[in-house]
Amino acid sequence: MKGRLLAVDPGEKNIGLAVSDPLGISANPLMVLTHVSKDEDARRIAIVAREQQVTAIVIGLPLEADGEIGPAAKRSQKLAGHLRKFYDGEIIFWDESGSTNAVQELLIEMNVPRQKRKGHQDARAAAWILQDYLNHQANTPSAESH
């Protein structure tokens, strides 16, 4: 998939956003939105998608440990339903299980002081989700190459 992608890490209080480079190689944290309502959140995400000129939105889907869809994943699906009112591009769900913990572990490995690790990591988690998706796409042979 060519073009920029927007990743959404939907949380109960905050929504992390990240964007890819135009070639779809790397993901970068973009911003954190404070949750207002599903419709308002979706409207603001769609505005960011237009501003960033993305070709698709990747929404983190936090699956349960057994791979099932639980309450958090259902919230992601509901947000996507509201987003379809404001955004007519492709919406992709991507398993985000462990994204927040992965970001915390990475910051520890990078020797980021505890004080700087505090606070909202939502945009970084969105970047982790998007990078995971991009890496998977880069390592998956396309139908065109067969």
Does 146 map to a domain? no
- 146: pLDDT strictly greater than 80: no
The pLDDT of 77-81, averaged and rounded, is: 95
Lowest-pLDDT choice from 16-20, 64-68, 122-126 = 64-68
The pLDDT of 62-71, averaged and rounded, is: 82
Q: How many residues does the chain have?
A: 146
Does 12 map to a domain? yes
Domain CATH number, residue 102: 3.30.420.140
Does 145 map to a domain? no
Does 131 map to a domain? yes
- 144: pLDDT strictly greater than 70: no
Tell me which of 48 and 118 has the higher pLDDT: 48
Give the chain's domain count.
Answer: 1
Residue 20 and residue 39: Cα distance in Å, rounded? 24
Domain that holds residue 105: 4-139
